Structure 1
Amino acid sequence: MDMKKKLFIGGEWVEGSSYKDLLSPYDREVVAQIPSATEKETEQAVVSAFKARKELGKLPAHQRAEILDNVSRLLEERREEAARLISQEAAKPIQTARTEVARSIMTYKFASEEARRIKNEMINMDAAPGGEGRIAYAVREPAGVVAAITPFNFPMNLVAHKLGPAIAAGNPVILKPASQTPLSAYFIAEIFEKAGLPKGALNVITGKGSVVGEKLVTDDRISVITFTGSPEVGIALRNKAGLKKMTLELGSNSAVIIDEGVNVEEIADRLVLGSFAYQGQVCISLQRIFVHESLKQEVIDAMKKRTDRLIFGHPLDEATDISALISEDDCSRVLSWIDEAKDRGAEVVCGGTREGNGVLPTILADVPTDSSVSCEEVFGPVVHINSFSDWDQAIIEVNSSDYGLQAGVFTNDMKKAFQAAEDLEVGGVLINDIPTFRVDHMPYGGVKKSGFGREGIKYAIEEMTELKLVSFKK
């Protein structure tokens, strides 16, 4: 791997004026040197994307589809290299990184398919008095330059969820990846370059949010902002963005309700996966479990047994289940939140301690629901188990959150399942599954502090296009 990366602007690889060392979250070794874009280079990226918008917008749908199909195929050919990159820069266990690459390949395939079927529609004008003698149709046109600001936790697939629909719809993109995970973004830029994307249609720039992000959000030549990250940053961006179209994916503290009569042994593996996959650094990580009091101890025992078997280690080790958290600060924060819950009477079932640059998978029981590990987004390997006696109360507990991304419900009672589907204040309800489930073509997004707008290629294309009416009078 070339240790020194370059900015990707206007189809060219451009030397940065200054560089920063990228350190492995696991052992703090230098992985690469990353350029920091100044305002000048950010301006070049904006100019280049703005210039490319006409050419890309006029590119026939089948050609845009073919480029995205090429991306999917080229990524398939280099899938192991891609997985190792993710693993190195994000401390994602290699098995989990391979799953992310497989999903990214599928996301670009979906984008290729959706490019061919962007929906235009006929309007029956004579449905209204005065509309007689007119033929009209509505077409979806590219909205313009898209600024994509992506997080560290899925550095390849969450990038795909922004680049895929943007290119499918004919919009040029400026991508600002998270500062800890730029390698995946530069890797995908190489692939787009080989796939035949017109110069300037994709620009990748790394640097400080206060320099790069600030310019992208305030520049009038940018039409769409798509951001995944923290609510604080998302809200600040929205307040500066003016009339730009925005999609904000801002996190969660996802919950699951487990009804009486559910077979705990059948669901325990899913619960542990949802709680601790990628160290809990997943927007829809399972953080809150509300279980009927008759099953509480059984759920605790079943989850503890499986959690105790998880192996902490180097992300590139095939046996590793759990590795380092993304930063030293996150380790300290997660441990302080666990201590706060403990001080307020929560029981530590397992974990709660530090290992290297990580926190061991932690199960807490009987957590006060106004403590940080319950009402904030932990973004670490922590889950709590609380009991309920009344179904309606469990739904109230889940809804008491400031967030509303996804929720899971395990029940054998259809009436309760439909009630939960109707009453839960979230963007997605998963019946008989954990909230940590996502496939890449489903509508995905939240309510409340979890943001607004939807991802999932077809739905993201709607967010990145403008509807134009054309009417002919006979």
Structure 2
Amino acid sequence: MLAKSYPYYLANKAVYANEKLEVTNKYTQEVATKVALADANVIDEAIAAAELAQGELNKMPPYKRQQILQHCVDGFQARYDELADALCLEAGKPIKDARGEVTRLIDTFKIAAEESVRINGEVTNLEITERAKGYTGMYKHVPIGPCSFISPFNFPLNLAAHKVAPAIAAGCAFVLKPASRTPIGALIIGEILAETDLPKGAFSILPCSRDGADLFTTDERFKLLSFTGSPDVGWQLKAKAGKKPVILELGGNAACVVDSDADIDDAVERIIFGAYYQSGQSCISVQRIIVHEDIYDHFKTAFVEKVKNLVHGDPSDENTFIGPMISVSEAERLEGWIKNAVEGGAKLLCGGERDGAMLQATILENAAPDSEVNAEEAFGPVSVLSSFSDFDEALKRVNQSQFGLQAGIFTRDIYKAHKAWDELEVGGVVIGDVPSWRVDNMPYGGVKESGLGREGIRYAIADMTEIRLMVLRTPNK
């Protein structure tokens, strides 16, 4: 059960300032709880506190940062069911998927705890010329400073964790803006962090309106901005961010190629997961499915039959696979895209019906390349089937996208696997599985409209630290 109300966290402390933000049960659309909403003055205070805390964090030894991260791991494990139930309610995520995300939250903090004591430097040979005789170089990584984090609604626990955990590991103060539709998970993380001995101001977690959040982007006291969300918003924020580095994890319309030698039954099972888990609300959800013509009919028959039998309904039901989309308006948008595709010549193989925020798992065939369901990010339970005859042509079709996050290739040909890895314009190529697969220590991110930089704890720590060089001269060497 959710609490009646939740605070925001300002400079490590819970503040029950108001109950302005209503958080709904995404299945029933009823108000489930209320959350304190921060205004611009509170955000400014949080940034000032982070700036003051940074000096103490710079001095905190790695083993203490590791202890803080391990405390979080223990706290998440103790509150596993509470976190999963909250996620199921506030995000409409089927309970099995919600438990999976809590597990990943724990994994992400575990990885950060391990990496926190492995932030090393290097001795560098500078004697590359007579001029440098007697000089030695060495460098270490130091915290970049206070960080601004903006996280999305679709993975409100783990995508917040991919910002918070490496910041603690690196020794950076931070202010986090969780998604207004799904703030509860981040606030529970804040509750557990508040139990630690992080210096005052080391963290603030502030749900706020988009209009009031300009300081998260523009304030020069922040030394890095990390944003996960839609491309339109992400690129706008980058343009306003000033001199600070910006990490963007944005959208996608991920493609999956199924070659003629693939195990069809295995490909069907994995692509159903990739396209429809948590109602397709993932930036690496399988959206475009490109199948070799020799196996196309077999694949289509099996795929359509299984998708038709997916269980839709209450996300708290253990049997539910398809829950509600995040809002009625989002379901209406995607319903309109499906209708537009059909009017443009696509064939509706199954689904397409909507009831409130519930949209049936949908398969379209041969949608026009410029239709929204092909060219844009659907971010919902829809996939588009088409066939190919030539593998090189299939790769070109994958690349015919404004996005470039991840791609999946089902093939047993090692040469084709390497060709895909060489030629696909994406951040990650997954062989023998869907692009929706991610483990939390791998470098994850995209190119083109899909963003800048990489998540994955070690890679995020690299962004949240700076190299500081020392040169040592030995006279008369």
User: Which bracket does the TM-score occupy, shorter chain normalised?
Assistant: over 0.9
Over aligned residue pairs, what C-alpha RMSD do you find? 1.1
Partner of 1:199: 200
Indicate the residue corresponding to 1:405 in structure 2. 405
- Equivalent AA in structure 1 for residue 12 of structure 2: G
- Corresponding residue for 1:280? 280
Q: Distance in 2 between matches of 1:121 and 1:314?
A: 54
Amino acid at match of 2:407: A
Equivalent residues in 2 for 1:291-306, closer than 5 Å: 291-306=291-306
Distance across 1 between alignment mates of 2:409 and 2:130 = 48
Paired residue type of 1:121: E
How far apart are the structure 2 equivalents of 1:357 and 1:250? Answer: 23
Residue 8 (structure 1) aligns with = 9
Q: Is the 8 A contact 2:330 2:357 kept in 1?
A: no
Q: Is residue 253 of structure 1 aligned with residue 253 of structure 2?
A: yes
Correspondence for 2:375: 375
Unpaired runs of at least 5, structure 1: none
C-alpha distance in structure 2 between counterparts of 1:441 and 1:18, whole Å: 37
Please give the alpha-carbon distance, in whole angstroms, between the structure 2 residues aligned to 1:266 and 1:331.
29
CA drift at 1:370: 1.1
Aligned to 2:432: 432
Tell me by how many angstroms 1:17 deviates: 4.8
- Deviation for aligned residue 1:294: 1.2
Question: Does the 8 Å CA contact 1:405/1:445 hold for their aligned counterparts?
Answer: yes
1:161 aligned residue = 162
Residue of structure 2 in register with 1:100 after alignment: 101
Distance 2:72 2:53 in 1: 19
SS for the counterpart of 1:25 is: coil
8 Å Cα contact 2:329-2:357 kept in structure 1: no
Number of aligned positions between the proteins? 473
Secondary structure class of the residue paired with 2:204: strand
Give the SS at the match of 2:272. helix
Summarize the alignment of residues 384-395 of structure 1 with structure 2, pairs less than 5 Å apart. Answer: 384-395=384-395
| 1:442 paired residue number | 442
Question: What is the CA–CA distance in structure 2 between the aligned matches of 1:265 and 1:240, rounded to whole Å?
Answer: 48
Amino acid at match of 1:146: C
Deviation, 1:73, is 1.3
Q: Please tell me whether the aligned partners of residues 5 and 19 of structure 2 are also in contact (alpha carbons under 8 angstroms).
A: no
Q: Please tell me whether the aligned partners of residues 27 and 357 of structure 1 are also in contact (alpha carbons under 8 angstroms).
A: no
Q: How does 1:212-231 map to 2 (within 5 A)?
A: 212=213, 214-231=214-231
Partner of 2:354 in structure 1?
354
Secondary structure of the residue aligned to 1:135 is strand
C-alpha offsets along residues 31-65 of structure 1, whole Å, 9 cap, x if unaligned?
11122211111111111111111111210001101
Distance 1:388 1:64 in 2: 52
Contact 1:323-1:358 at 8 Å conserved across structures: yes
Question: 1 CA distance for matches of 2:19 and 2:108?
Answer: 34
Matched residue, 1:145? 146
* Aligned residues of 1:348 and 1:365 also touching (Cα < 8 A): yes
Q: 2:72 aligned with 1:71, yes or no? A: yes
What is the identity, as a one-letter code, of the residue corresponding to 2:191?
A: E
Cα distance, 1:15 vs. partner? 2.8
373-382 vs 39-48, greater mean Cα deviation = 39-48
- CA deviation after TM superposition for structure 1 residue 304, in Å: 1.4
Amino acid at match of 1:255: A
Structure 1: distance between partners of 2:32 and 2:402? 37
Q: Distance in 2 between matches of 1:128 and 1:73?
A: 53
1:332 paired with 2:353, answer: no
1:20 Cα deviation after fit: 2.5
Cα shift at 1:358: 1.2
Following superposition, the deviation at residue 197 of structure 1 comes to: 2.6
- Distance change (3 Å), C-alpha of 1:128 and 1:16: farther
Post-superposition CA distance 1:422-447 (Å, at most 9, x none): 00000000111110000000000000
Q: Distance in 2 between matches of 1:415 and 1:466?
A: 39
What is aligned with 2:185?
184
CA distance in 1 between partners of 2:130 and 2:353 (Å): 71
2:266 alignment counterpart: 266
CA distance in 1, matches of 2:470, 2:173: 25
Give the TM-score, by structure 1 length. 0.98
TM-score, normalising length from structure 2? 0.97
Alignment pair present for 1:36 and 2:14: no
Deviation at 1:245, TM superposition (A): 1.3
Give the Cα–Cα distance (whole angstroms) in 1 for the partners of residues 309 and 414 of structure 2.
34
Separation (CA, whole Å) in 2 of partners of 1:55 and 1:446: 34
- Once residues 375 and 200 of structure 1 are traced to their aligned partners in structure 2, the CA distance between those partners, rounded to angstroms, is 43
Q: Residues of 2 paired with 1:95 and 1:262: CA distance?
A: 28
Stretch of structure 1 that moved more, 191-200 or 408-417:
191-200
Asked if structure 1 preserves the Cα contact closer than 8 Å seen for 2:24 and 2:31, the reply is yes
Q: Deviations over 1:341-390 (max 9, x none)?
A: 10111111111111342101001111111110011000000001111111
Q: Distance in 2 between matches of 1:16 and 1:402?
A: 43
Letter in 2 for 1:143: I
Matched to 1:45, the amino acid is A
Matches within 5 A, 1:115-154: 115-154=116-155
| 1:345 and 2:345 aligned | yes
In 2, distance between residues paired with 1:102 and 1:401?
A: 33
Partner-residue secondary structure (3-state), 2:412: coil
In 2: Cα distance, 1:452 partner to 1:21 partner: 33
CA contact (8 A) 1:245 1:464 kept: no
User: Greater shift after overlay, 408-417 or 376-385?
Assistant: 408-417
Find the residue that maps to 1:179 and give its secondary structure. coil
Displacement over 3 Å in runs of 4+: none
Partners of 1:391 and 1:68 in 2: CA distance:
46
Q: Distance in 2 between matches of 1:222 and 1:266?
A: 47
Q: Which moved more, 1:407-416 or 1:427-436?
A: 407-416
CA distance in 1, matches of 2:301, 2:275: 15
Q: Deviations over 1:3-23 (max 9, x none)?
A: 221121112222335612211
Deviations 1:135-177 (A, max 9, x none): 2111111001111100000000001100011110000110000
Asked if structure 2 preserves the Cα contact closer than 8 Å seen for 1:101 and 1:156, the reply is yes
